[in-house]
Each structure stands twice: as structure tokens, then as C-alpha cells.
Amino acid sequence: MINLNFKLNKTTVYAYLVVSCFILSIIFSSYIFLIFSFLFCYEIFNKVRESILISFIFSLYFIFLGFDTFKYFVLMFFSIILISERFKDNPKIILSAYSNVFLIFLLYLFTLEQKVGDISNVLSFETRFWPVLSNGEELNPNMIGLLSAICAFGYYVNKKIILMIFPLFILLVSQSRSAMLFFILASFLYSGVKLKNIFYFLMMLFPFIYFLNNSNIINRFIEDGENGRIARILFYLPYLKNNYLTGLGYGEYLVFVKNIGSLDNLFLAIILVYGIWGVIYLLSLFIIFFKNKKNEDSSLRLAIFCSFMVLGLFEGSFAFNHLTWLIFALSFNSFSIKMIK
């Protein structure tokens, strides 16, 4: 029998409110809901005010690249710093809230029109799961796949194995190879390299792999190859060469994404959009991560951080998908200056 009970305390309530704000930001296409989510982290603001101030001063340069660039960067580091500090002692709570809230959202997406075909084509794996919101915004299958992978991973961490069936199925119909890699890598790193954990992990994945091998999805894996990623990287190379110091800006990048497609590499996209300043920020995240103090959640932090970085070899990863910021934030013990000195 599935146990859906959870301890109702302030941290749990805040976790659900924060996750709900992120959901509303995509439904209503408004970042204002992200600002609302910060209000639920007000209690810890003083602990990280130095880090926030330093990051804010650092981000002022991006005003010269356009207000959109400045705004997106500020929202990103606010989300990562505040949520990391607010839930550093109980990351599994926000993972559980994320899984439950986003699963409802993902199931809701099945009621929407699809960009290609209809829902019957999706369920028969003839087309990818590509829903279109009522405001006309399209939710890319790779984005859907990543959200599903995080949902499934959250249930895995919280030992709600039966509930993993639903997000794993959504992951399959998204046909996102990078998201499948994210889930497998995150689950494996969290389980650890002990023989018992490896055996348990393989037993858990066996039905998933068997279904994958005997479905039409395998044809996409073979036929699509690198899915045009190399051609897009070659297109962006001149712009990288001309803007690696200053950055192109987020608004300009979105124009290219709409007409050409995204630069499916976290590290190259950071350089293209934010220039050398983006590289410095990314390096600072690596430094803060490696300064994490060992505790009972170290394997979880390792799994989340490494999986997002590996995903960055094939996608924009956390930096260009704001729905993942609150999960990536769990990679860190704290952004308190006292903690990271």
C-alpha cells in the first residue's frame, strides 16, 4: 500500500509553497512567482546576505548586456543561494515536494494539445511528448524528460518506489536520452558503489531497460544520432569567438534559440551568454561544492551536482531551465561566507 502521509511542519509547508511558485511561473509565464518563492526563505536571509550582496554586485555588469540578462542571472543566483540555505538540513523534504507537485503538473500536460500529433501518438511512441500550454508556450520534450527524471529520482531517494512508475513512464514518452542519462546517473551515484546497492539498482532498472529495448523508442536512439547538436555548435562557434569575453546576452541568445535552436552544452552556452563572467560564476559553484562538509546527505549532493554537470555536456542543464534551480540548489551545504571561507 502506498503511503502518501508526510509530517506537516513549517519546513514541509514552505517546500510545497516554493515548488508551487516555480510551477506557477511556467503556467503563467511570469518570473514574479519566483520572487514570491523567495519570501518563504526570508528567515535565513541574514545568514547569506554577504553572498547575495557579492553576487548582486557581480551581476551588475550584465545590465550592459540588457536587463533580461541581468534579471535572469539575479533570479538564478537568488534561487540557488536562498533555497540551498533554507533546505540545507532537509533536502529530501523539498525533493519529495518537487516530486509530488510536478507529477500532478506532468499528468496535467497529458490533457493539452501536442505540437505533433495527438496524445494517442505520444502513448504509442510515434511522436514525442510535446505539450503546448494555453498561452501558446511549448514545453520541449527534453525539458519534460528532465522534470520527469527529477520526479522519479525524488521518489527513489524518499523510498516511494511504486510512485516512480508514473514519472518514469512520462520520461519514456518524452524520449529524452539526456534525461534518461540524468536519472540513471543520479540514482547510481546516490546508491553508492557498494555491491549490494549496485545489485538493488540494477534490479530496479531492469523493467525500465527491458521496456526501452522492446519499444519503438530504441529506433529514435539509433536514427537521430546526435540530433543536430554538432551542426548547432558549429553555427554558434563564430559568435562564441566574438563574444567569449563580454557575452552575447540572454535576450539575444533567445532570438537564436527561437530561430536556430539552443546551444546544447551548458559550458559553451554559459560562455556565449555571460562571457568570462559566466565562467567565473560557474567556477565559483564548483569551488563551493567541493568545500561542502561531509554529512548524511553528501551522497545526495554528489548525485545532484554531478548529474547536472554531465547533463551539461548535452543540454543547457540548470543554467537555462529555471524549473531546475531549486533542485540544483540542493547540491550545496551553504552559501554562508562563514561556511565557505
pLDDT of 2 > 60? The answer is: no
Angle between helices 250-259 and 266-290 (to 10 degrees): 130
Question: What was the pLDDT predicted at 75?
Answer: 95
The Cα–Cα gap between 331 and 285 comes to 10
Average pLDDT over the chain, rounded to an integer = 86
pLDDT tens track for 33-75: 999 998 888 888 888 888 899 999 999 999 999 999 999 999 9
The answer to whether the beta carbons of residues 176 and 141 sit under 8 Å apart is yes
The answer to whether the beta carbons of residues 117 and 126 sit under 8 Å apart is yes
pLDDT tens track for 256-267: 988 888 888 999
pLDDT tens track for 114-137: 888 788 888 877 788 889 887 778
